[in-house]
Structure 1
Amino acid sequence: MKAIGYDTAGPIDGEGRLRAFEAERPAPGPRDLLVRVQGISVNPVDVKLRAARQPGAGPAILGFDAAGTVEAVGPEVTGFAIGDKVFYAGDVTRAGSNAEYQTVDERIVGRKPESLDFTEAAGMPLTSITAWEMLFDSFRIPEGGGQGRSILVIGGAGGVGSILIQLARKLTDLTIIATASRDETADWVRQMGAHHVIDHHGDMAAQLRELDLRPDHVAALTGTERHWPAIVDLIAPRGHVALIDDPKTLDMSIAKPKALTVSWEFMFTRSMFETDDMAAQSHLLNRVAGMLDDGTLRSTVNERAAVLDPETLAQAHRRQESGRVIGKQVLPGL
């Protein structure tokens, strides 16, 4: 099969450059689906792994969002059949979706939204899972709950922020404050459903005082190390901070007076460790697909390439590294 990968960890225009190559088509394991990949997306995890993770034998294939058609199933698969159209975020420990075919455990796969083509559908799984797990598993906000409480979404115009705002607006009664630093990103987060918008390049605590708001929950999606003192200042006592980025250090002692809860969200945990509740990701993806089809949620895709080749994929990586992507980037399959 055709694939795109990298041979040495490093910068996209140096050691970590991407190249096309031929790879052996994978065979499905007992609970795997073999999927013909027809759409992919690029996420920060692709950039981070390419820059830091050294491949083993042969080129490493990235790609942790995909949509496609089931071509074969393992002997223990019960939920899918050949010909099913699916979407999923994959498993960070296995070969990714930047290839013609990919194997993926059925427990982390959902049925593709009928209202989206394969390319656009590929933009939704990873961010939807991350946002859903943060909102309902980490913060433990019940659907329909959150009355009288608020959430601050730092980096609201990114992929996770864009769907997190929508889920919070449609499925909870939380007051949603999102951060954005440009007119176009402020407009975007309002379209997603934010009640209020503040600038994360300014004094966030002062801006929230002007709104007479003190968030109970903070979804720290970017720049957590830089924003940490401000987060501790602005959050309500006994509040909860959930983060997805990789700060090198956080002074946890300043969080003690407010008795804050701090947790990480990492959507690959369930697949990496094959947790007992791994299939929750399949269920939530099916729920998201239904909400996209009935118009409750809208696609967050904002950049779409016409072809998938090493150069267009490298350009998508550069855009991720710029930190200026609004919503999601998607590309067709090989």
Structure 2
Amino acid sequence: MKALAYERAHPLDAFAIDLVDVEEPRARDGDLLVEVRAIGVNPGEASIRAARSAEPGGRVILGWEFAGVVVDVGTATTGFAVGDRVIGTGDPTRDGCWAQRVAVDHRVVAKIPDQLAFVDAASLPIGALTGWEAVFRDQSVLPDGVDAVLVIGGAGGVGSLTTQLLKAKTSAFVISTASRPESRDWCHAMGADLVVDHTAGLGAQLRQAGVAHVDVVLSTAATADNLAQIAALLRPFGHVSTVDVGAPLDLAPLVQKSASLHTEMVFSHIVGGADPSSQGRILGTVVDYVVGGHVRPIVTTTLAGLTAESMKTAHAMLESHRTIGKIVIVV
């Protein structure tokens, strides 16, 4: 089969991902083999491309957000059959979905109905799972006493779906951050009750809007500056959830609020050895929300073809740090 692969980590200006012939994966006992129809592209994959090289003599196939059709099922799979239309993520220790076919643990996959287009479906899995687990944790509910949630980076894939899920599942007042007119408009379209500019003082903007404090903060980019600002906005015994921890963080500002700090990595169930079945169930619920009109797909850019040119274009857009919603490649 064909797949997009590379050998050595590289920057965008030396883009070295090529369409190559590789052996088709075989479904393990608990796997589905899926013919990929659409791929969601994520900022984390661009970061991995720039940092991770293949083992000597090998190649790297990234991609962990897809929609497609089941073409084979492992002997230990349940609930799926050849011909099912599905969405899913995958396993970062295995080859990903930048390929014509991908083998994936059936527990991180959900069926999609005929009325949900592959291109729309592929915009959902990573953002929905990350946002759900980040704010609802493993109980699938907000912590007690939560009235206001702040989503820092509301126009990206995670922020867009987190905002929608909060509005679909809770009565929380949702505040999103965005700095450009088009990204502010997008956050409002996602259902945010209030949108504030993260390049200006958040505290003053919230006070002007009559918001004294927030109970939960989801940060899509945790930095030392962000954390200090977050702590100033957070109520005592509030909650901070972050999905992107870079440099070491000074937690002293959070200690002063007796705050809880949560981290989220969408593959923690698989790489940590836990049962990932909850992720398949979450994706199934998200699909139901979409079909019911409570959540909308977030694809804003569609690129055509499993080609190096399409993937380079997607990565250039991601590295501009100005993307809104989701980039999807139609295979």
The TM tier, using the shorter chain, reads: over 0.9
Deviation of the 1:112 alpha carbon: 2.0
- SS in structure 1 opposite 2:23? coil
Deviation of the 1:312 alpha carbon: 1.1
Runs of 4+ with >3 A deviation: 145-148, 223-226
Deviation of the 1:255 alpha carbon: 1.5
What is aligned with 1:295?
293
Deviation of the 1:13 alpha carbon: 2.4
Aligned residues of 2:163 and 2:190 also touching (Cα < 8 A): yes
Instruction: For 1:25-104, list aligned pairs within 5 A.
Output: 25-56=24-55, 57-104=57-104
Cα distance change on mapping 1:113 and 1:164 into 2, 3 Å: farther
What is aligned with 1:234?
233
Aligned residues of 2:27 and 2:103 also touching (Cα < 8 A): yes
What is aligned with 1:193?
191
What is aligned with 1:184?
182
- SS in structure 2 opposite 1:37? strand
TM-score by length of 2: 0.95
Deviation of the 1:254 alpha carbon: 2.0
Aligned residues of 2:303 and 2:310 also touching (Cα < 8 A): yes
Provide the C-alpha distance between the structure 2 equivalents of 1:216 and 1:148, rounded to a whole number of angstroms.
Answer: 5
What is aligned with 2:125?
125
What is aligned with 1:5?
5
Query: What stretches of structure 2 of length at least 5 have no aligned partner?
Result: none
What is aligned with 2:204?
206
What is aligned with 2:327?
329
Equivalent residues, number? 329
Cα distance change on mapping 1:225 and 1:17 into 2, 3 Å: farther
Provide the C-alpha distance between the structure 1 equivalents of 2:256 and 2:119, rounded to a whole number of angstroms.
Answer: 47
Provide the C-alpha distance between the structure 2 equivalents of 1:256 and 1:294, rounded to a whole number of angstroms.
Answer: 41
Cα distance change on mapping 1:192 and 1:146 into 2, 3 Å: farther
Instruction: For 1:83-162, list aligned pairs within 5 A.
Output: 83-137=83-137, 142=141, 149-162=147-160
| RMSD of aligned residue pairs (Cα, Å) | 1.6
- SS in structure 2 opposite 1:61? coil
Aligned residues of 1:132 and 1:167 also touching (Cα < 8 A): yes
* Cα deviation digits, residues 46-76 of structure 1 (max 9, x gap): 1111011111242200111101111111111
What is aligned with 1:315?
313
Provide the C-alpha distance between the structure 2 equivalents of 1:308 and 1:319, rounded to a whole number of angstroms.
Answer: 17
Aligned residues of 1:126 and 1:267 also touching (Cα < 8 A): yes
Aligned residues of 1:147 and 1:173 also touching (Cα < 8 A): no
- What is the letter of the counterpart of residue 280 of structure 1? S
Aligned residues of 2:159 and 2:220 also touching (Cα < 8 A): yes
Provide the C-alpha distance between the structure 2 equivalents of 1:234 and 1:253, rounded to a whole number of angstroms.
Answer: 14
* Cα deviation digits, residues 250-281 of structure 1 (max 9, x gap): 111221111011111111101212303x1001
TM-score by length of 1: 0.95
Provide the C-alpha distance between the structure 1 equivalents of 2:140 and 2:64, rounded to a whole number of angstroms.
Answer: 27
Provide the C-alpha distance between the structure 1 equivalents of 2:49 and 2:233, rounded to a whole number of angstroms.
Answer: 35
Aligned residues of 1:12 and 1:18 also touching (Cα < 8 A): no
Deviation of the 1:193 alpha carbon: 0.5
- What is the letter of the counterpart of residue 215 of structure 2? D
Aligned residues of 2:33 and 2:101 also touching (Cα < 8 A): yes
Provide the C-alpha distance between the structure 1 equivalents of 2:189 and 2:145, rounded to a whole number of angstroms.
Answer: 22
